[in-house]
Chain A
Amino acid sequence: MVRIAEEWLATCGGCEVTVLDIGEPLLDLLPKLQFVHMPVLMDHKYFGQTGEKEFEIPEADVGLISGGIRSEENARVAQEMRKKCTTLVAVGACANFGGIPALANLYTLQDLMDTVYRKGRTTEPADNPSEDIPPLKDRVYAVSEAVKVDVGLPGCPTTPELVAGALTALLEGKPFSLPERSVCDDCPTKREKKAVATLKRPLENVQLKEGQKLEDVRCLMEQGYLCQGPATRTGCGGADKVPRCIRAYMPCRGCFGPIRAGANPMVDMMGAISSIGLDARQIEDRMATFNRFVGATGRLRPLPR
């Protein structure tokens, strides 16, 4: 019996839904698993957020953490999880790279507080709340920036196949890792290395006929849709390998993060865009667009003025 503890930090809860979304393979896994701690599922409350008492996270073999570290409380929960769990798994884009909340890293904490509590047109100016709530960190951190993480499952949300695959591997004592390949390597669309249109807005429809197979569709980037495929790690396709968004005829948004740990998706995307003849100047807010899910891990920071 493997004991599992699950925690959610600064996140939406989508990754927890993914765990439930595993489907039939979950039936095979469940008898071998024992969830000892999972606030999102069991509504397990604990005191200690404001320091009255220490956390009570039970010992576990595998710890799953979703969400990045936004507040001091998040950081303490992550540290406690690390202490109590033998293997720590970061689930989802937020835990691995900060995710959407980490877009806030483009601004200083002071800027954020001013905007939320004082500068809004309909906001009555007030002080930052400080009573009975944990203080915020200066920026959003990925879990791996605070504690050692053994396995990372990226994605927004991560995929049921990955969670099931990782859990199975851990149960069997095998190592689990993702390939260092890009989404384009698994994308079935036709590439001719030349854009046939200028950049389009994301809401415009992809050109295709009814029933047209993906193999016959022109690469979305070459059609002018900003696709993060070239700078994003593959693995979201599951068994049939076709990337999730591409399967729905949508361009990749980059939720699996950079292909290698040290890669800079921003620079890689600029290269990919200009090499097929698109004009990067037309892209609004390039910094945030290209780092949409990877704002922690030092990739987004307040711009010097």
Chain B
Amino acid sequence: MAEETFEPLIIGFCCNWCSYAGADLAGVSRLQYPPNLRIIRVMCSGMVHPNLVMDALTKGADGVLVCGCHPGDCHYQEGNLKAQSRADAIKLMLQDFGIEEERFRLEWVSASEGPRFAQVVTEMTEQIRELGPSPYRMG
């Protein structure tokens, strides 16, 4: 794939209670954000196992975005704190796999933060567009 036509593929895991609703709000508010994100709705950001993130990154995705409720707002009390500690482990694994740290992001987006969601996605897409395709990208 030529450099100028590179479109990053970003997998987004959004929690059902805050972030997915935030993404929904961004949509119904007709906010513009890049179409590079493929959203997967999960019940909680805390259930996104590092396996899923590493599988995504080593099997074709250029970036992974995990979105959860703000700390203290978790529908399951402390799922997002689990996500935070998993993110620490994931960052370590990224080093081991030789993947740039910027390709993984954990962000807190509440149900009312449609604009913030759009902004996060825009930022991340631009950042990854600059980094180029994932070293593990196939074909």
Contacts and interface: CB of A to CB of B under 8 A. Distances in A.
A223 interface: no
Contact of A271 (B89, B97, B135): B89
B96 A268 contact: no
Interface in B53-92: 54-55, 85, 89, 92
Contacts of B51: 264, 267-268, 271
Interface string A97-134: 00000000000000000000000000000000000000
B139 interface: no
Contacts of B99: 304
A305 B95 CA distance: 11
Contact of B54 (A264, A303, A305): A264
B50 A271 contact: yes
B93 interface: yes
Contacts of A287: 96-97
Contacts of A267: 50-51, 54, 93
Chain B contact residues: helix, strand, loop or mixed: helix
Given A281-B92, A287-B96, A274 B85 contact: yes
A259 to B, nearest CB: 12
Nearest to A299: B58
Interface string A263-279: 01011101100100000
A270 B93 contact: yes
A266 B92 CA distance: 11
Contacts of A264: 51, 54-55
B49 A271 contact: yes
* B interface, size bucket: 10 to 19
A287 B54 CA distance: 13
Contacts of B85: 274
Contacts of A266: 54, 93, 96
**Most chain A beta carbons < 10 A, residue from B50, B85, B99:** B50
Contacts of A194: none
Given A271-B49, A287-B97, A303-B98, A280 B54 contact: no
Contacts, number: 34
A238 to B, nearest CB: 31
A286 interface: yes
A267 B135 CA distance: 18
Given A264-B51, A264-B55, A286 B135 contact: no
A305 B135 CA distance: 10
A287 B135 CA distance: 16
Interface string A72-87: 0000000000000000
A303 B50 CA distance: 19
Contact of A270 (B92, B98, B135): B92
A305 B97 CA distance: 11
**Most chain B beta carbons < 10 A, residue from A266, A267, A268, A286:** A267
A270 B97 contact: no
Interface of B: 49-51, 54-55, 85, 89, 92-93, 96-99, 135
27 contacts: A264-B54, A264-B55, A266-B54, A266-B93, A266-B96, A267-B51, A267-B93, A268-B51, A270-B50, A270-B92, A270-B93, A271-B49, A271-B50, A271-B51, A271-B89, A274-B85, A274-B89, A280-B89, A280-B92, A281-B92, A286-B92, A287-B97, A303-B97, A303-B98, A304-B98, A304-B99, A305-B98
Given A266-B93, A267-B54, 5 more contacts: A264-B54, A267-B50, A274-B89, A281-B92, A286-B92
Interface of A: 264, 266-268, 270-271, 274, 280-281, 286-287, 303-305
Q: Which 7 A-B pairs have the closest CB atoms?
A: A303-B98, A304-B135, A304-B98, A287-B96, A286-B96, A267-B54, A267-B51
